[in-house]
Structure 1
Amino acid sequence: MIKNLLLIDDDELTLFIINRFMLKHQFVENIISVKNGQEAIEYFERLTAGDGVAPELIIMDIIMPVMTGWDFLDEYSRRFQPQFPATRICVLSNSVFMEDAIKARSYSACFSYITKPLSSTKINRLKTNKALKQYFGSAPGKV
């Protein structure tokens, strides 16, 4: 099970649904939610100052106000990824454009691109993804 998950999405309903899904599927113990990339950058700034624990996983949207997911990925890659190399990123977006999936995977910390809505099948795929397997065991569906 993932110990700490950072959710980045501007939609309150999406944050609520993801939160419920993750807990129901025993995917994560602790969920931190922020509403845009800027809030996520501020979260990582606090982490570098020694305040808090780094998430093992970030699940993020790309279309957000204030700072988009792309802007966050650029800033995170430049400033924080070297300090938090074990943190992995999954994009969860409404965009079905192949270009967005390709762009997301161009970031070394980003291992997956999933289209909304989140589902049990998609969560189970994340559990068996090689980037997260260490948290869930090697058997498919094993929690």
Structure 2
Amino acid sequence: MSKNYSFCIVDDDDVYQFTIKKTINSLNIAKNIMAFSDGEEALNFMIENLHNDEELPDVILLDINMPIMDGFQFMEEYIKIKPKLDKKITIYMISSSVDASDVERANKISEVSDYIIKPIKEGQIQSILLELSNQ
């Protein structure tokens, strides 16, 4: 797991953003961590950098419940721009929701690698890295 990855955190919770950045940094595996407080901000960034693989993240940690554009709305729009992307981006939906309908809805989106219930733990980040290194 020597490769460093670029992470994108899309979550409106500042405390969560802080703690997940700290967790990722403690593992010494991030070349970059960007954060957006809603799906629209993240989507706009993706569109602006469609052909700039260096700027685009390797991994997106996407919250479901956010103002302006939630995680599911983000995914609807992401699916539209995905064919224009040259880079493979791995997306994990991260939520405090244990509602079975949210989990099922996320699992139906083929672009979502997994649904992880907050708080995300260091071991879960390591599992994500293992999956990435096997791709």
- Report TM bin, short chain: 0.7 to 0.9
Which one of the candidate residues 80, 91, 94 is aligned to 2:93? 91
Spell out, residue by residue over 1:72-127, the C-alpha distance to the aligned partner (whole angstroms, 9 max, x if none).
Answer: 0001111x211235111001100112222221122222101100011122222222
Give the 3 Å change call, closer, same or farther, for CA 95–48 of structure 1 in structure 2.
Answer: same
What is the alpha-carbon distance in structure 2 between the residues aligned to residue 77 and residue 56 of structure 1?
A: 16
Spell out, residue by residue over 1:16-50, the C-alpha distance to the aligned partner (whole angstroms, 9 max, x if none).
Answer: 11101001012321011100001011101211375
What is the alpha-carbon distance in structure 1 between the residues aligned to residue 125 and residue 105 of structure 2?
A: 22
Matched, 1:27 2:32: no
1:70 match: secondary structure? helix
Unaligned runs of 5+ in 1: 136-143
1:48 match: secondary structure? coil
What RMSD in Å do the two structures reach over aligned CA positions? Answer: 2.0
Q: Which amino acid aligns with 2:76?
A: D
Q: Taking structure 1 as the reference length, what is the TM-score of the superposition?
A: 0.83
What is the alpha-carbon distance in structure 1 between the residues aligned to residue 116 and residue 53 of structure 2?
A: 30
Which one of the candidate residues 78, 100, 103 is aligned to 1:101? 103
Match of 1:36 in 2: 38
Match of 1:45 in 2: 47
Q: Taking structure 2 as the reference length, what is the TM-score of the superposition?
A: 0.87
Match of 2:64 in 1: 62
Match of 1:115 in 2: 117
Runs (4+) of structure 1 moved beyond 4 Å?
A: 49-52
What is the alpha-carbon distance in structure 2 between the residues aligned to residue 31 and residue 123 of structure 1?
A: 13
What is the alpha-carbon distance in structure 2 between the residues aligned to residue 50 and residue 128 of structure 1?
A: 25
Alignment of 1:114-133 (within 5 A): 114-129=116-131, 132-133=132-133
